[in-house]
Amino acid sequence: MAGIQLNTLRKIYAGNVEAVKGISIDIKDGEFIVLVGPSGCGKSTLLRMVAGLETITDGELFIGDRLVNNVEPADRDIAMVFQNYALYPHMTVYGNLAYGLKNRSIPKDEIEKRVRKAAEILEIGDFLDRRPRQLSGGQRQRVAMGRAIVREPAAFLFDEPLSNLDAKLRVQMRMEIKKLQKELGTTSLYVTHDQLEAMTLADRLVVLSGGVVEQIGSPIDVYEKPASTFVATFIGSPAMNLLPLAKSGNEWKLDNGATVDVKLNTDLSDLILGVRPEDLVIEELSEKFDSGLHTALTVHVVEPVGAESYVHGTIGEGSVDVVVRAPGKLHFEPGQILKVTAKPEKLHTFDTKSGKRIELEGALETA
Amino acid sequence: MKRSQFWDHVVLVLGALFMLVPVVYALMTSSHDAVSIYKDGLQLSPGGHFVDTYKQVLTEAGGFTKSVTGLTMLWNSLVLGLGFAFGKIIISMLAAYAIVYFRFPLGTFFFWIIFSTLLLPLEVRILPSYEIVQGLGMANTYSGLIIPLIASATGTFYFRQFFKSVPDELVEAARIDGAGPLKFFIDILVPLSKTMIAAIFIIMFVFGWNQYLWPTLITTDESLFTLVRGMKQILQVWIGAQIPDTNQAMALAVLAMLPPVLIVVIFQSWFVKGLVESEK
């Protein structure tokens, strides 16, 4: 077992396309790191660089304290779980699990022992004689994980392993992967584009965009203190509402003229205000509190999703779609005007140009 | 619906008869003796000399030098058919493996070069090929019979298409599992190509078995004659001063037909599988 260290890794493809632009991550031994980002952000490339399936253009990669830039995948002491499982179709489940061990000239009885153990952990003992074709998606997924486990590697690499499963199975396997990783204590690097998967699995999240790291932190940190507008909208569903904010005199105002109570020491004349849908409260339905924001919302659509409702609307002419996430089943007519409010500590501010977070004064303590 | 089915069947039955009647003629005629065929022409009913004729054809030395029996020719054909088929499979699999999985300079160019040889069948290059094989002293040898024919653009193309359809993740999983290029080929790719290999084997075996032009050129030694090439030669000599042994000629023809038919019948399901699906 070992940590993994990425030092300003870069990947430039033929044609001068820079897919990974100098990424550094220090992964501790036993940590579960999730790389998350939209498609094309470089997360899979990064994982494949760690696996050794893509060459590293520049930078250093350490697994344990060994520099592995030019080490073959098989000798990196890693195991990988692929999105489409990549099981050998002509081998039995047993053969699939044993193949990597055989190639390492591990004695037969040791292979047998390890395969049985992995099969027991994953509850696939009954299928050892079957071919992958005869298994369901979930079972294949387990076999793919088994193939990783028997190797007893320094690190597991997961490349969107759950995307081919149906929603229910995905949730179940998600929990199992997490449990398994905690039991085995193996350092894991997991790639997904599903932010919910990322939130639930990760010890630390790495949010990637356009080949650079937007933010690294625990899921809750990332959720509560997104480092940029990109992270703010990518993590959390529905996405955070982003509204332009302009300075007029000593006050900050929204487009519709509503005053927002943000304490900021800045020379900037405009900002982006971020507020999560669940932090926006419909005034009529809540108790009074010290508010940082009051505005009127013209309802467009209400989406009931069972336990809660998403109220979509606008705040004045030309406003972007604003979403309020309110508990319970609500009924509003389109065109109805509601008063919404939010606590001052629930407000986020970002630089208009760079999209980077600007910390509110006093917000550090309240978060 | 019924009506069109009826006509479908008529067409099929006619087609089948068209194919089969000559075969039945050959088979039936071969069971008569030479004299009665000479008198009465080709036969459609079984005669009483089936065993005699075939025994004679298989074991009695014929030809100009009296050094070749039907059995020898059968053996030669088998060597050619098998050598041809296995040779082609091995060569084209390796070529396709190189083209698909290894990035080497001008790889695509070489593929198209190989592919363009489809435009140059044996008949076109027969003289230079003969010169070379003759010059290498390979005339009248099994290797001379087989090796010049085993490069196969068709086979390379089929295997290339098949290898391209194997998911990349499988290669990557094998790499992580510590399988080098040779191990990956033998442990993963060859077993995956099983049905494909079977299909190509059938095509190539039949193709090799039926070779006529090349064996005619390259073998002058009668002991190396294949059935297809030897049949006529043997018969001409037999004709000589006596009644033509049409029964024996027919028997040789039936024997020449038999192995390809057996191979196709036995491997039929594999053949279809190889062409339409892949085990992935």
B54-83 as b/e, with b when 16 or more CB fall inside 10 Å? Answer: bebbbeeebbeeeebbbebbbebbbbbbbb
Nearest to A201 by CA among A231, A169, A175: A175
Collect all residues of chain A within an 8 Å Cβ-Cβ radius of residue B172. Answer: 51, 53, 73, 80, 82, 86
Q: Position of tokens 């037999």?
A: B238
> Of the candidates B173, B178, B194, which has its C-beta nearest A86's C-beta?
B173
- First-to-final CA distance of chain B: 38
- Render A257-268 in DSSP notation, one character per residue: S-EE--------
pLDDT in tens, chain A (367 residues): 689 999 999 999 988 899 999 999 999 999 999 999 999 899 999 999 999 999 999 999 999 989 999 999 999 999 999 999 999 999 999 999 999 999 999 999 999 999 999 999 898 999 999 999 999 988 999 999 999 999 999 999 999 999 888 889 899 999 999 999 999 999 999 999 998 999 999 999 999 999 999 999 999 999 999 999 999 999 988 999 999 988 888 888 888 888 888 777 777 888 999 999 999 998 888 777 777 888 889 999 999 988 899 999 998 877 788 999 988 888 888 989 999 999 888 899 999 999 999 887 654 443 3
Q: Nearest-CA distance from B25 to chain A in Å?
A: 46
pTM of the model: 0.82
Distance to chain A for B160, nearest Cα, Å: 19
In this prediction, the residues of chain B whose per-residue pLDDT falls under 50 are: 279-280
Burial class (CB in 10 A: 0-12, 13-18, 19+), A167: exposed
From A74, A87, A133, residue closest to B176, measured CB to CB: A74
A304: three-class secondary structure by DSSP: strand
Q: Which residues of A touch B178 (CB under 8 A)?
A: 74-75, 100, 103-104
Domains annotated for chain B, with CATH where assigned, are 2-94+125-156+193-276 (1.10.3720.10)
Q: Which of A189, A207, A203, A174 is nearest to A48 (CA)?
A: A189
Q: Do B188 and A88 touch (CB under 8 A)?
A: yes
What CA–CA distance (Å, rounded) separates A317 from A311? 18
Taking contacts as CB-CB distances below 8 angstroms, the residues of chain B near A74 are 175-179
What is the pLDDT at residue A364?
Answer: 46
d(CA A127, CA A107): 23
Cβ atoms within 10 Å of B175's Cβ, excluding its own: 19
Residues in chain B within 8 Å Cβ distance of A103 = 177-179, 183
- B196 burial level (CB within 10 Å; 0-12, 13-18, 19+): buried
Which pLDDT value is given to residue B234?
A: 62
Domains (range + CATH), chain A: 4-229 (3.40.50.300), 239-361 (2.40.50.140)
The residues, any chain, with a CB within 8 Å of residue B277's CB and separated by 6 or more, are B195
**DSSP symbol at B211:** -
Written in H, E and C, the secondary structure of B150-179 is CCCHHHHHHHHHHHHHCCHHHHHHHHHCCC
The pLDDT value recorded for residue A215 is: 95
Q: CB of B167 within 8 Å of any CB in chain A?
A: yes
A275 token code pair: 């507020």
Q: What is the per-residue pLDDT across A298-353, written as a single tens digit (0 to 9) for each?
A: 999 999 988 899 999 998 877 788 999 988 888 888 989 999 999 888 899 999 99
ipTM of the complex: 0.83
Contact between chains at B179 and A53 (C-beta distance less than 8 A): no
CB within 8 Å: B172 and A100: no
Write down the pLDDT at residue A139. Answer: 92
Q: Kindly give, in sequence order, each residue whose CB lies less than 8 Å from that of residue A251, ignoring residues fewer than 6 positions away.
A: A259
Q: Tell me if A361 sits within 8 A of A265, measured CB to CB.
A: yes
Out of A73, A90, A103, the one facing B279 most closely (by C-beta) is A90
Using CA atoms, how far residue A21 sits from A9, A51, A124, B263, B268, in Å, is: 7, 18, 41, 59, 55
CB-based contact A74 B170, cutoff 8 Å: no
Q: How far apart are the first and last CA of chain A?
A: 35
B183 contacts A88? CB cut-off 8 A: no
Report the alpha-carbon distance of residue B224 to residue B140 in Å, rounded.
Answer: 7
The C-alpha of B174 sits at a distance from chain A's nearest C-alpha, in angstroms, of 8
pLDDT for residue B280 = 44
